A = this chain, B = another copy of it.
């Protein structure tokens, strides 16, 4: 059985839908590689064009600028992750088990998903760790929010918030705890690998320790250990 997974993206994110052409898919594929390799600051449409073997102007037909492209791939990731979560927690009745699965999915290396040929989820996960918050830490955050560019992130936050409430209906901060889990899954990973003295995982550098920390944090807070 060979499945193809298509994620419907917000149309304001692009000028021309990159899913629908070869060049478009190449833009996504190579921008993920380039951003992961050089970082978002050093990433330019010119380098991307050279990488693909097309011209700068060609890229501009798909994306208004590199920030929109970043928003696109990040939104894509959150949508894909929400799908992963709904898939992997399907038929799980115990919300505690569900929440633990969510934490694990957020905080451990993702496998490349064969259902999405032009997206390398594993690289994308690294981008989320290092560049994810740059999507919204800008002066245009309000404008971008009006365009609903952060909807996939918000949806994910709502999903996790609901699972938290299932675990503990009276817990007062389900959304904030959800964003704390998401952000800390990535920040603790980044710190562990780059500024280890900011964490307690410097010795082993094991993702499982980040998971253990988050589990402890979350289940202490919602009083279900």
A 202-225 binary contact with B (CB < 8 Å = 1; else 0)? 000000000001001100110100
Q: How far is the CB of A135 from chain B (nearest CB, A)?
A: 11
Chain A, interface size category, equals: 35 or more
CA distance A220 to B41 in the complex (A): 39
Instruction: Name the B residues within 8 Å of A79 (CB-CB).
Output: none
- How many copies of this chain sit in the oligomeric assembly? 2
A 134-174 binary contact with B (CB < 8 Å = 1; else 0)? 10111101100100001001100110000000000000111
Instruction: Name the B residues within 8 Å of A198 (CB-CB).
Output: 153-154, 157, 175-176, 178-179
Q: Is A3 an interface residue (CB 8 A)?
A: no
Stretch at the interface among A9-17, A55-63, A187-195: A187-195
The answer to whether B191 touches A187, judged by C-beta atoms less than 8 angstroms apart, is no
Point out the residue from B172, B200, B217 that lies within 8 Å of A200, measured CB to CB. Answer: B172
CA distance A141 to B153 in the complex (A): 26
Known: A154-B197, A176-B188, A217-B177. A42 touches B139 (CB 8 A): yes
Q: Is A133 an interface residue (CB 8 A)?
A: yes
Q: Is A183 an interface residue (CB 8 A)?
A: yes
Residue of B nearest to A222 (CB): B220
Most chain B CB inside 10 Å of its own CB: which residue of A130, A137, A158, A174: A137
Known: A145-B195, A198-B179. A134 touches B137 (CB 8 A): yes
The answer to whether A137 touches B213, judged by C-beta atoms less than 8 angstroms apart, is no
Instruction: Name the B residues within 8 Å of A194 (CB-CB).
Output: 136, 141-142, 145
Q: What residues of chain A have their CB less than 8 Å away from a CB belonging to chain B? A: 38-39, 41-42, 130-131, 133-134, 136-139, 141-142, 145, 150, 153-154, 157-158, 172-180, 183-184, 187-188, 190-191, 194-195, 197-201, 213, 216-217, 220-221, 223
